[in-house]
Structure 1
């Protein structure tokens, strides 16, 4: 597997991963009814440095890296990760997170923060913890889950 910067040729494979994930409405605090243009505008936004995880010519995952805040908070990185449904459980998210931590260091970030990790996303929470992130805050009932109703979200953080 290779993780590399996304190119224009990756637009539709990225859309094939991001659109159904957002439409499911169970992991990202983003509207679930976005059309393709809005999905791409969100994921490929001007502040995002976007990468893809590719194996044998197939895009298996994508992530973006950005500053979590501006001004006095621009030394803290933020990322979003998505893995293709048929590639889950194969270490893609771990590889992308490890890559993003290194890339964040290269860009001069001092830490990384995830602002809204949905408490029902237990696989992601376990992985982030294994990779050194801690839950530093709980946002009670901050996410309206399509199956579980209002659930907590976590702020997760680690130094680089």
Structure 2
């Protein structure tokens, strides 16, 4: 698997993954009714941020990540990232590779930390992955996410300060 910069011709595949993940309403707090243009504006990350895709040896886009500063101004030293993996490629290391890539990018670009603002607490595979890679849950907003089968569940704020 290769992780590379997003190219415009990747958008149809990225949009399909974004639509799939958001439409499931289980792991990411984006509006499932978003249009393609809204999805593009949500996923497009302007510099100093970036968007990458995870591509199989056959050239299939199976995941994507966007990363950048978590806030502007005095908070710009903390980065953030969001990851999406196609359903048929989950559990194969795509999310791990994307997260490691984002952490390497953030360190290389001089960020002091990475913060995730809204990790759905029932997304156990993501929470476990982030913990393995050095993140801690620094707080949970109770009942802040409407899960389609579990009802209202919490959103974790997760943080990884770089040494």
Give the TM-score, by structure 1 length.
0.96
RMSD: 1.1
* Displacement of 1:44: 1.4
Q: 2:51: which partner in 1?
A: 50
Given the alignment of the two structures, is residue 142 of structure 1 paired with residue 144 of structure 2, yes or no? yes
Closer, same or farther: CA 15–124 of 1 in aligned 2, 3 Å:
same
Q: 1:10: which partner in 2?
A: 10
* Displacement of 1:35: 1.5
Q: 1:70: which partner in 2?
A: 72
Structure 1 SS opposite 2:11: helix
Contact 1:23 / 1:34 at 8 angstroms: preserved in 2? no
Q: 2:37: which partner in 1?
A: 37
Q: Distance in 1 between matches of 2:40 and 2:88?
A: 21
Contact 1:136 / 1:157 at 8 angstroms: preserved in 2? yes
Q: Distance in 1 between matches of 2:26 and 2:46?
A: 25
Q: Distance in 1 between matches of 2:32 and 2:126?
A: 20
* Displacement of 1:46: 3.1
* Displacement of 1:85: 1.0
In structure 2, list runs of 5 or more residues that go unmatched. none
* Displacement of 1:25: 1.4
Q: Distance in 2 between matches of 1:38 and 1:151?
A: 25
Q: Distance in 2 between matches of 1:131 and 1:94?
A: 9
Of 121, 124, 132, which residue of structure 1 is paired with 2:123?
A: 121
